[in-house]
């Protein structure tokens, strides 16, 4: 299985950093899929196999919890702050 892995930097209000990791299918003849997970923060994961079930805000869907300050809702995209 070939896939592309991309990471977008995240930051908590307390200063801790981590990443939103996207892994997506690279094979043109297989079914498309995307998988999202967190690195450096606790939270859920998300796998998308069709265009009909994509949440608008993937970071909110994953509900990241900062292991340093133990707060929900304080983690944001570093590039958007």
Q: Which tens digits make up the pLDDT trace of 42-74? A: 999 998 887 667 788 899 999 999 999 999 899
At residue 49, the pLDDT reads 82
Range of the domain at 69: 3-80
3-state secondary structure at position 73: coil
Specify the pLDDT at position 4: 85
Question: For the chain, how many structural domains are there in total?
Answer: 1
Give residue 31's pLDDT: 66
pLDDT in tens, 20-34: 999 987 666 666 788
Q: How far apart are CA 12 and CA 32, in angstroms?
A: 31
Tokens of 77: 């995209």
Range in 2-11, 13-22, 32-41, 48-57 the model is least confident about: 48-57
Quote the pTM value: 0.83
User: How many CA atoms lie within 13 Å of 59's alpha carbon, on the beta-carbon side?
Assistant: 21
DSSP state of 62: H
């Amino acid at each position: 299985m070939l896939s592309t892995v991309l990471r977008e930097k995240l930051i908590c209000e307390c200063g801790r950093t981590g990443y939103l990791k996207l892994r997506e299918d690279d094979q043109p003849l297989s079914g498309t899929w995307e998988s999202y997970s967190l690195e450096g923060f606790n939270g859920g994961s998300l796998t998308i196999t069709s265009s009909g079930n994509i949440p608008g805000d993937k970071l909110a869907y994953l509900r990241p919890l900062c292991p340093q300050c133990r707060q929900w809702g304080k983690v944001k995209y570093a590039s958007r702050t």
